[in-house]
Structure 1
């Protein structure tokens, strides 16, 4: 399976979660300690253009500050789904995963590393939203193995940048998804 196919599968799983979020769940806590559901949706909307631009090898700095958007209507779900569709399309283009690119700033990184980070972001935040809203993230084993490997490449750097919290000890006998979540500082047994 190609990197782009993993991106498409991760986005599709996240879209299924987004479509089932109810308006009264927007203030629910998530396992991502910095965000409630509203904040996490806003985070995904805020960074969407930068992640999309990275696939085109363009610097697309985030616009303004990461502040709450109006999520009172259903338009936020459609907007986020459209972002994900464009991100998948961009990263499906020939050459998107080759060479170097940027993730919202001037620092060049290997495009394959950035693409892997995007796939990880979609899966992990999909899990966050699913847990917060009483859903289950449905992803296949191949995608989970891929994300586990990609997060392993960047986990320590992510912790240094404040993207991930301290690793959570998870038994080696746990599922690959649980071990992946532990690497990002999440407790797989988290409950609201």
Structure 2
């Protein structure tokens, strides 16, 4: 699988989920303790421009907290999220997005391939969070999950230090790849 297609592959199940969300789902809990469905959707929208900017080597700071997300009571949020996912996939399809260094919403330069891996992990893990809140199970390509597992395992300690991941949840080494990814990020794969 080409690295330039990974973001699109990670985004596809999330894009399908968006079409199933109804207003009654917005207050539902997710496996990510800090987010209900509404907050998770706003989180994805809040960081969207920075993640697209990272692929283009543009430092796009996230909006001020008062500007985060959109009005989820209006009918425009599914289209806004779909547009974001399309822009994200398009930006990361460019081979140059994966080369050199870039910024992710701040002044610190990071290896572009590291940021690309973080973007893919964000889509898979938060896609799973959203799917579980909606009582469904998403699926991703095994090659993509293997990539996400390796990237997540390599940065897990740093992610925990930054408060991005919770304490690791023990998962058997023979468990499915997605379950192992979730355990690394501090999520219980059996959450319901």
Q: TM-score, normalised by structure 1?
A: 0.96
Deviations 1:1-31 (A, max 9, x none): 1112111111111101111111100000000
Structure 1 portions without partners, runs of 5+: none
* Equivalences, count: 191
Deviation (angstroms), 1:69? 3.2
Deviations 1:126-150 (A, max 9, x none): 0000000112212121111111011
Note the aligned Cα RMSD (angstroms). Answer: 1.1
Deviation (angstroms), 1:73? 2.6
Deviation (angstroms), 1:68? 5.7
**1:90 equivalenced with 2:111 (yes/no):** no
Distance between the aligned counterparts of 1:141 and 1:94, measured in 2? 22
Return closer, same or farther for 1:106/1:11 CA change in 2, 3 Å cut-off. same
- For 2:8, the equivalent position in structure 1 comes to 8
Distance between the aligned counterparts of 2:148 and 2:19, measured in 1? 23
Distance between the aligned counterparts of 2:128 and 2:46, measured in 1? 19
Q: Which runs of 4+ in 1 moved over 6 A?
A: none
| 1:37-48 mapped onto 2 (5 Å cutoff) | 37-48=37-48
Distance between the aligned counterparts of 1:74 and 1:157, measured in 2? 38
| 1:165-184 mapped onto 2 (5 Å cutoff) | 165-184=166-185
- For 2:76, the equivalent position in structure 1 comes to 75
- Aligned-partner SS, 1:162: coil
Distance between the aligned counterparts of 2:153 and 2:85, measured in 1? 24
Q: TM-score, normalised by structure 2?
A: 0.96
Deviation (angstroms), 1:89? 0.6
